[in-house]
Structure 1
């Protein structure tokens, strides 16, 4: 008789231990999330329940802050939570790619095709579909809010 073995579901703490054993530095934050870092790149990981990690987007470490990527159209920028912007270098982008790949490998996560296409930014609307991630899409007969809202560029040179 055929019997499929159920995969073992790791707890949040077991996942953090796997990251430590894969040479990631870990630091527990006051709110229970864990800041993981390696080679100048970091990410915040929280326990969303059901023993599943909730990853905030990885970014380059600038001091103690994690700078997120911002697409300027012609160049990628790093933006700290305080609003400071600086251009991202090719070495930083490569380190970010390797960091995300190492996390997936250490945790045994599935590597999807669209995540390996290149550097993406959570602040950029790539496909220009308004409210795509908001759940229910507006209907044509609803109040007209179908305009494209460009991402805030905070005074960058990109018009």
Structure 2
């Protein structure tokens, strides 16, 4: 894909480049749905603010994720959740444990989209797949205010 020096590629240029690399690009109600390796995401044009464009896929680019990459189950893009002990893919109907092959597919899909769109590969993302939601069982419920512990050595009024 030929890019203009100093200018981010347009959504249409990125769609053409994705098609050339074997991605299926279809219009959807939310934006442009791209898919490959059993994974999918939805891209939208990123709004231009002054001389800068959105930064949802690494460095400044003219596209952003409307729906982040995930494995497709029953036509729906599943969100990746991390529960500390295991990762899960969650749709509106199902919650399934993630397999190593699925995580590898999402990682490869995300890396290719970032490269084609002109984004950068961030260090933490290059180590493996990052999750959309982190829900650790040991900290679940800690956000609730706990009553102060009873301290018998403190004097209570009247003495």
* TM-score normalised over the length of structure 2: 0.69
Paired position in structure 2 for 1:86: 96
Deviations 1:92-130 (A, max 9, x none): 01111111111122222111112213222121179xxxx
- 3-state SS in 2 of match to 1:57: strand
Gaps (5+ residues) in structure 1? 127-146, 150-159
Residues 1:27 and 2:33 are matched in the alignment: no
Q: Distance in 2 between matches of 1:25 and 1:84?
A: 25
Paired position in structure 2 for 1:99: 109
- In the TM superposition, residue 59 of structure 1 has moved relative to its aligned partner by 0.2
Q: Whose RCO is larger (CA < 8 A, sep 6+)?
A: 2
Alignment of 1:29-48 (within 5 A): 29-31=28-30, 33-48=31-46
Q: What is the alpha-carbon root mean square deviation over aligned residues?
A: 2.1
Runs of 4+ in 1 over 6 A off after TM superposition: none
Paired position in structure 2 for 1:53: 63
Q: How many residues align?
A: 123
- 3-state SS in 1 of match to 2:133: coil
Distance 1:125 1:47, change over 3 A: farther
Q: Which has the larger radius of gyration?
A: 2
Paired position in structure 2 for 1:62: 73
Q: Distance in 2 between matches of 1:71 and 1:62?
A: 18
Gaps (5+ residues) in structure 2? 54-61, 137-141, 145-159
Deviations 1:12-62 (A, max 9, x none): 11111111111100110134x011000101111111222621113200011
- In the TM superposition, residue 84 of structure 1 has moved relative to its aligned partner by 1.2
Q: Distance in 2 between matches of 1:24 and 1:57?
A: 16
Q: Distance in 2 between matches of 1:112 and 1:119?
A: 11
Distance 1:117 1:148, change over 3 A: farther
